[in-house]
């Protein structure tokens, strides 16, 4: 008799096999819980502890727009894109991340989702800091930035600019083209610049810019996200080689030993372009006839595309 899987087992399974979207959700959730525990600890101690612990949490997980303060805690440029200090901010961002991340993985792959998330969030933080340097109205006070909004806007805008006519059901009822939904969010951020509403609109726009650029000349080696992924792969190989006794990975096949072969940029881009064309044809079929009209081979192809990372 097979033993029932526990809640912890379910979480482990989702983290391992749920794709990059689920892993990002787990990381954001874990950091949110950690921050809340900081605040609970401070409240229980009482006195000035709440204030001091809040300052510690900000120094670890927030991005400060004031350059001298930023230089004291530069890691905030990275940690802030995983951090949320309030429940509703966390909940709204995670719902949006789940929706856009799953759709992104069906069109691209897990590795590209991770790169888009990281680069979009960091670029958004840098643009917000630059805006506070340039515009006097934003220099009145130093603010801290937290949240995955810039990263999520990069993911969502990449989807919208890549597949503008793809329809989503708004509120589960009204079919709306993806580009119109993205346009609404983009215009809202543009029209809200300069407002003291507690939202980092420049960070959102920074994410949008990254999302747009990431899908230009998608299958070309000139695409900047392709270049970043290639650079990242080379760095991983380099550092993994430092901790490996045999400096050259060997593969035995048919009694022969040979070094691992890597695809050239031309081979990689040709295969990516072929896969993308096939994906586009399948998605067009879904938009016209529904998911159930797909053959088993087509469903398997989409599934495998979502798992390639």
Looking at the fold, whether 73 and 136 belong to one and the same domain comes out as: yes
Question: Does 22 map to a domain?
Answer: yes
pLDDT confidence tier of residue 28, bands split at 50, 70 and 90: very high
Residue where a domain stops, chosen among 157, 190, 214: 214
Sign of the alpha-carbon torsion through 44, 80, 130, 59: positive
Question: Does 219 map to a domain?
Answer: no
Give DSSP secondary structure letters for 173-208. TEEEEHHHHHHHHHHHHHHTTT--SS--HHHHHHHH
Looking at the fold, whether 309 and 189 belong to one and the same domain comes out as: no
Question: Does 92 map to a domain?
Answer: yes
Looking at the fold, whether 303 and 190 belong to one and the same domain comes out as: no
Reported as a single tens digit per residue, the pLDDT across 225-262 is 988 888 888 888 888 777 765 545 444 444 443 433 44
d(CA 199, CA 197): 6
Looking at the fold, whether 299 and 207 belong to one and the same domain comes out as: no
d(CA 107, CA 104): 5
Question: Does 244 map to a domain?
Answer: no
Tokens of 121: 């969030």
What Rg, from alpha-carbon coordinates, does the chain have?
22
pLDDT value of residue 61: 94
Q: What is the mean pLDDT of residues 105-114?
A: 91
Question: Does 106 map to a domain?
Answer: yes
d(CA 138, CA 128): 10
Count of the separate structural domains present in the chain = 2
pLDDT value of residue 256: 42
Looking at the fold, whether 121 and 197 belong to one and the same domain comes out as: yes
Q: What is the mean pLDDT of residues 150-159?
A: 96
pLDDT confidence tier of residue 42, bands split at 50, 70 and 90: confident
Helix axes 87-107, 296-307, angle to 10 degrees: 130
Looking at the fold, whether 174 and 269 belong to one and the same domain comes out as: no
Q: Give the list of residues 6+ apart from residue 237 with CB closer than 8 angstroms, or none.
A: none
For residues 208-236, one letter each, b for 16 or more C-beta atoms within 10 angstroms of the residue's C-beta and e for the rest, the string is bbbbbbbbeebbeeebebbebbeeeeeee
Sign of the alpha-carbon torsion through 61, 64, 68, 69: negative
C-alpha angle with apex 142: 66 to 153, nearest 5 degrees? 80
Looking at the fold, whether 189 and 291 belong to one and the same domain comes out as: no
Reported as a single tens digit per residue, the pLDDT across 183-196 is 999 999 999 998 88
Question: Does 237 map to a domain?
Answer: no
pLDDT value of residue 294: 73
Range of the domain at 141: 8-214
Beta-bridge partner residues of 144: 64
pLDDT confidence tier of residue 168, bands split at 50, 70 and 90: confident
Looking at the fold, whether 267 and 210 belong to one and the same domain comes out as: no
Looking at the fold, whether 105 and 204 belong to one and the same domain comes out as: yes
Question: Does 29 map to a domain?
Answer: yes
């Amino acid at each position: 008799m097979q033993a029932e899987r526990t809640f912890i087992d379910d979480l482990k399974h989702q983290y391992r096999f749920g794709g990059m979207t689920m892993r990002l959700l787990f990381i954001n959730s874990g950091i949110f819980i950690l921050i809340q525990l900081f605040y609970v600890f401070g409240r229980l101690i009482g006195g000035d502890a709440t204030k001091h612990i809040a300052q510690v949490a900000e120094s670890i997980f927030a991005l400060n727009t004031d350059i001298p303060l930023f230089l004291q805690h530069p890691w905030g440029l990275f940690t802030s894109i995983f951090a949320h200090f309030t429940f509703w901010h966390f909940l709204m961002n995670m719902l949006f991340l789940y929706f856009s991340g799953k759709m992104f993985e069906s069109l691209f792959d897990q590795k590209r989702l991770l790169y888009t998330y990281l680069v979009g969030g960091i670029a958004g933080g840098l643009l917000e800091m630059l805006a506070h340097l340039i515009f006097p109205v934003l220099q009145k006070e130093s603010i801290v930035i937290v949240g995955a909004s810039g990263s999520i806007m990069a993911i969502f805008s990449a989807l919208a600019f890549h597949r503008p006519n793809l329809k989503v059901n708004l509120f589960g009822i009204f079919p709306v083209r993806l580009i119109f939904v993205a346009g609404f969010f983009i215009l809202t951020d543009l029209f809200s610049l300069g407002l003291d509403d507690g939202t980092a609109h420049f960070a959102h726009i920074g994410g949008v810019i990254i999302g747009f650029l990431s899908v230009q000349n998608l299958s070309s080696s000139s695409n900047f996200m392709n270049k970043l992924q290639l650079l990242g792969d080379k760095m991983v190989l380099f550092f993994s080689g430092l901790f490996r006794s045999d400096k050259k990975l060997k593969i035995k096949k048919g009694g022969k030993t040979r070094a691992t072969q890597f695809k050239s940029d031309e081979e990689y881009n040709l295969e990516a372009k072929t896969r993308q064309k096939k994906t586009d044809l399948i998605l067009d079929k879904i938009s016209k006839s529904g998911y159930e009209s797909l053959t088993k081979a087509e469903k398997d192809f989409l599934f495998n595309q979502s798992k390639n990372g």
